[in-house]
Structure 1
Amino acid sequence: MSDAQKGILAMAAACVIWGLSAMYYKLVAHVPPLEVLSHRTLWSLVFFGLVLAAQGRLIELGRLLARPRALAVVFVAALAISSNWFVFIYSVQVGHAVQASLGYYIFPLVAVALGFVFLGERHSTLKWLAVALACAAVAGLTWGLGVAPWASLFLAFTFGTYGLVKRSVPAGPVVSVTCEVLLLAPLALIWLWGVHSQGWPGLTGRNLGIFGHDLGDSLLLAFSGPLTATPLILFSYASKRVSYATVGLVQYINPTLQFLVATLVFKEAFTGWHAVAFGLIWTALALYSAESLRQDRAARRAAISAGTSGTR
């Protein structure tokens, strides 16, 4: 099996885990979302720390921590991804998993707009048409349901912001995410201390936190660490072996599985307005993907041509 094939398999596996993760968060729907988020942060830190230690790469984390300017960027990224995690967990728990899947469908198109505004990127007419279709989908859904899909928009923009900020982090994805959860760990510890010993709100009528009172619940919460870390490690492996355009195409497995889980497993409502909105989004993604593939092939041909010219 070639490196490219291994990369595609790793990418697909990562997206399957992400796409099915809503079922995990439904299993812990009786645990308040901030408590789930706190455990996800802490157990992710434990898992990532063990991975880096096994690879002998903890020194890379130390180098990143020693750079104040880079650390400030990592902290912004940490706030973006933690808020994204929280809204996703909350959306699944309260029965808005369809909205969550829509957010991750919208994200690539939001990234086009963010790249234009903040990075000065220039995009083709087809990509802008895809963005326009996404805007029409959101507007139609807002009109039809009488309320904007705030969770979808929040997830798309926080994930887009996260990707934008991460471009400035001088470290690989595993090291940078380890640093992110390390910076968030004190907040998670404070919240869990308040939940367990001070009876802070959001405890569904219980005076103490969930962890440690039931073995099954405790193991489920601890599992949030490997659930978060494993797909990211697979994604990191894949991104080094396949083209960016291929990564973009395979990534649609994630929101597609989220959508199927929401409608077929959770039995969430899917109205005619949802059908119109998703139809527009899928059309937009088809245009976006076709254009991305065309640009990727053009760039490869240009690189091959330049290489050939250089050998003459």
Structure 2
Amino acid sequence: MSENLSRPGLAFGAGAYLVWGTFPLLMNALRPAGALEITAHRAVWSVLVCFVIVAVMRGWRRLRAALVNRRTLGVLAVAAFFIAINWLIYVYAVVTDHVNSAALGYYINPLFTVALGVIFLGERLRRLQVVAIGIAVAAVVVIGVGLGEFPWIALALATSFGLYGLIKKRVGGSVDAITGLTVETLVLLPVALVGLWWIQETGRGTFGERGEEGLGLGHDLLLMSTGVFTAGALLLFAAGARRLPLYVTGLLQYIAPTLMFILAVWHFGEPMPVSRCIGFILVWVALVVLTVDGWRGRPRRGVARVEPAEPV
């Protein structure tokens, strides 16, 4: 195995996407907590976990540099807005039994990212990329018509995550993964705390509650663990990305939505009508076309390319 395809790199990268792909199991186990409560806890506990990691890695200087730089802080604040929307919709999809829609959103994301590169970065589409995007659009139309409703969950996830990645490009390599996540969750912390206070005041909170089925210390610990899984998966991703070429991490990103799709159909028992089956097949065809295009030649400057997905 070549140095670029080292076993540790593949293990770290695959591990990150395995965690993200099995996240629906954790979110489902957090019921009866709602999407807003789970998302708020995820932000709060992620801050604490990030602080521990920053302390262990002695990254206080990098964190301070990001916080005092107005441009960096502003960009990360906007990124925090989009990742919060992504988290909220993702959790909502799981707790309302729409894991398939979430999987579709993350399948579409690489194609949406290519489109964003053309719109906002002036990148040029290659012929196969045009074909892939066209097939993906057809897939969304087929699913929407077949279900009789607009597939807003999938498109909202792809849009929010794509815009999050686009905005993060503005800080480039000047901010490492943990520093970026720490700043983003710090920005979200006041809103998350206010949200948790409101949820408790309205009697909808589950943290610290006892007496109802499914609530107790185990439930509280699971809510707290959302921060551990969020930061831990990001560390695995960062460690893998440093050791692997871009095209490999780009291929690994399909692990997460594939696991989500498997869980949706065979674990959660979500329905798969004919229209949805056809739609997913079309999306997979589009991704194969996009992958073939990536293998035909390394990305060149000014040409749209698929970037590996970061955390959900």
Same fold by TM-score greater than 0.5: yes
CA distance, structure 1, for counterparts of residue 299 and residue 86 of structure 2:
33
CA distance, structure 1, for counterparts of residue 88 and residue 60 of structure 2:
27
1:96-245 alignment to 2 at 5 Å? Answer: 96-169=98-171, 170-196=174-200, 198-199=201-202, 203=204, 209-213=205-209, 214-245=216-247
CA distance, structure 2, for counterparts of residue 233 and residue 36 of structure 1:
21
**Structure 2 letter corresponding to 1:296:** R
SS in 1 for 2:61: helix
Matched, 1:91 2:87: no
CA distance, structure 2, for counterparts of residue 134 and residue 114 of structure 1:
14
Whether contact under 8 Å (2:32, 2:206) holds in the other structure is no
Identity between Structure 1 and Structure 2 (%): 37
SS in 2 for 1:267: coil
CA distance, structure 1, for counterparts of residue 230 and residue 300 of structure 2:
35
CA distance, structure 2, for counterparts of residue 125 and residue 297 of structure 1:
14
TM-score (norm 1): 0.90
Query: How big is the shift at 1:244?
Result: 1.1
Change (3 A) 1:199 1:298: closer
Whether contact under 8 Å (2:4, 2:245) holds in the other structure is no
CA distance, structure 2, for counterparts of residue 295 and residue 104 of structure 1:
24
**Structure 2 letter corresponding to 1:129:** V
Divergent runs of 4+, >6 A: none
**Structure 2 letter corresponding to 1:102:** L
SS in 2 for 1:4: coil
Any unmatched runs of 5+ in structure 2?
210-215, 302-312
Query: How big is the shift at 1:293?
Result: 2.1
CA displacement 1:255-305 (0-9 Å, x = unmatched)? 000000000000000111011101110000001011112222889xxxxxx
Structure with a larger share of its residues in helix? 1
**Structure 1 letter corresponding to 2:180:** S
Matched, 1:30 2:32: yes
**Structure 2 letter corresponding to 1:36:** I
CA distance, structure 1, for counterparts of residue 184 and residue 133 of structure 2:
30
SS in 1 for 2:206: coil
CA distance, structure 2, for counterparts of residue 119 and residue 263 of structure 1:
37
Partner of 2:291: 289
Partner of 1:4: 5
Partner of 1:310: none
**Structure 1 letter corresponding to 2:191:** L
**Structure 2 letter corresponding to 1:241:** R
1:295-310 alignment to 2 at 5 Å? Answer: 295-296=297-298
SS in 1 for 2:243: coil
**Structure 1 letter corresponding to 2:11:** L
Query: How big is the shift at 1:158?
Result: 0.5
Change (3 A) 1:155 1:190: same
CA distance, structure 1, for counterparts of residue 197 and residue 299 of structure 2:
53
1:270-285 alignment to 2 at 5 Å? Answer: 270-285=272-287
CA distance, structure 2, for counterparts of residue 284 and residue 152 of structure 1:
16
CA distance, structure 2, for counterparts of residue 167 and residue 96 of structure 1:
30
Whether contact under 8 Å (2:80, 2:185) holds in the other structure is yes
CA distance, structure 1, for counterparts of residue 51 and residue 123 of structure 2:
36
Partner of 1:44: 46
CA distance, structure 2, for counterparts of residue 72 and residue 183 of structure 1:
10
**Structure 1 letter corresponding to 2:202:** G
